[in-house]
Amino acid sequence: MKFFKSLATVVAILFLIITCNSKKENLIKEEQENPPNVLILLTDQWRAQATGYAGDPNVSTPYLDSLAALSVNFKNAVSGMPVCSPFRASLLTGQRPLTHGVFMNDVQLDTNAVTMAKIFAKQGYDTGYIGKWHLDGHGRLQNVAPGNRRQGFQYWKGNECTHNYNESVYYDNDDPNRKTWDGYDTFEQTDAAIVYIKERKSTKNPFLMVLSYGTPHAPYHTAPEEYRNRFDPTKIQLRENVPDSLKEQAKKDLAGYYAHIAALDDMIGKVMKNLKDSGQIDNTIVVFTADHGDLLGSHGAYKKQQPYEESARVPMLYYIPDKLKISAGEKDALMNSEDILPTLLGLCEIPIPDTVEGLNFRPYLEGRKNMGEATLLTCVQPFGQWNRIKHGGREYRALKTIRHTYVRDLNGPWLLFDNEKDPYQLNNLVGNDSYAVLQNDLENELSKRLEETGDEFLPGLDYVEKWGYPLDGTETVPYTH
């Protein structure tokens, strides 16, 4: 009798194992037969703090808040080199700036690079790009000619770079003639993306679409009047690290910045509604992020490049369909720019090329692996509005952990912040005897990571010479329109 009971138990266990394996195999088969679409909503200069769900008291972002509630929110995500072109090159290649070579604006990404669109296209995806590109280096208003300069994107309604949002130029697929979006380009680009997405429903192929907005990047005061009227500069609440000398100007500029954000929020809501109405939401991964943030007066500065929170930290939401069995919610891990591509490839069950240096966070999202406890921030060559000659810019390498930011420049330790106790980064702890052990530990970890990534941390001009980039009198790559 005991024998039969034992036999029954063994059979039951074997049945459960076979059933579980069968379900797993069916899930994998479903992913392979019906791979998810990928939609990347990329914004320009949107700092992580400036959303309703992140607690900004000045702006309401109801559509983004709704998306965040359904998404994985990497609340500590960073732009590894917080400036336009370097981020975009890392997004497309999954590589760090010293590898792909785009560590300044207005230079060209190697047309032989292994990029996102090329990888997805080989897997049968339709690939499309709408909006700001900033990876071609042939003039900001010039056509990014069809072919290898578009890095594998088949459908194209793009522009190299413009911030004239109400007279915004673009080029339409193979047409070499310059066109202009009809009105505020954030609205027009959204409508073009919706048309593209709807058209994909009639094809058998999944799609990869990058919708790359130019806003809320400056100029800050050019959103439609309806949105500008929502924000009274006198009622703007500033972050505590804006000095008195900039408070009046920062309030005015933030009012315009939030107007762009409010318009973007409406457009993100429009995109998500159309995905739902067209029945594609259940098979589409949506990523919302930005190429970098904006200081907007914090630490007495504007724009980006610097290692402070307002410049380096970016929003990072992943809406992941239920079929992938990944729970929504806030995550502490520090996702970096080069991690986006391998994570998307992992979620789509696409092999990750050896050229990719970033991390695939799918095991982390599935609870199988701890990762993302620290990452690197880099400024290879300061330029533009933070150039060394006029504005005191400096090369740096930084270690960003969940709690601390430690920064070294060419002369040695520069900044150390406890971001938990000091979220506005007002108290630099470098040289503080009470934090000597912590500073030493972070310095050792930074040195280890630089060695692992092959970063010798040379002066910026050494890398400029290596890559052959021309510089003007401010050590900036000059650009033409």
Tokens of 107: 């230079």
Contact 90, 348 (CB under 8 A): no
In 3D space, the residue among 122, 109, 196, 193 whose CA is nearest the CA of residue 151 turns out to be 109
What lies within 8 Å, CB to CB, of 422 at 6+ separation is: none
SS (H, E, C) 39-56: EEEEEECCCCCCCCCCCC
What type of residue is 265? D
| 3-state secondary structure (DSSP) of residue 104 | coil
The catalytic residue among 100, 134, 217, 292 is 134
How far, in Å, are 35, 281, 284, 318 from residue 321 at the CA level? 11, 7, 6, 10
Tokens of 24: 């797993």
| DSSP designation for 75 | T
Q: Which residue has the tokens 């505020």?
A: 184
The catalytic residue among 84, 161, 348, 379 is 84
Catalytic residue list contains 84:
yes
Q: b vs e for 361-395, b when ≥16 Cβ sit within 10 Å of the residue's Cβ?
A: bbebbeeeeeebebbbbbbbbbbbbbbbeeeebbb
Q: Which residue has the tokens 């039969």?
A: 4
Catalytic residue list contains 134:
yes
**Rounded Cα distance, 376 and 358, in Å:** 11
The burial class, CB within 10 Å (0-12 / 13-18 / 19+), for 171 is: buried
DSSP β-ladder status, 316-319 and 284-290:
antiparallel
**Rounded Cα distance, 313 and 79, in Å:** 6
Strands, E assignment, 264-395:
284-290, 316-319, 329-331, 374-379
Catalytic residue annotation: 84, 134
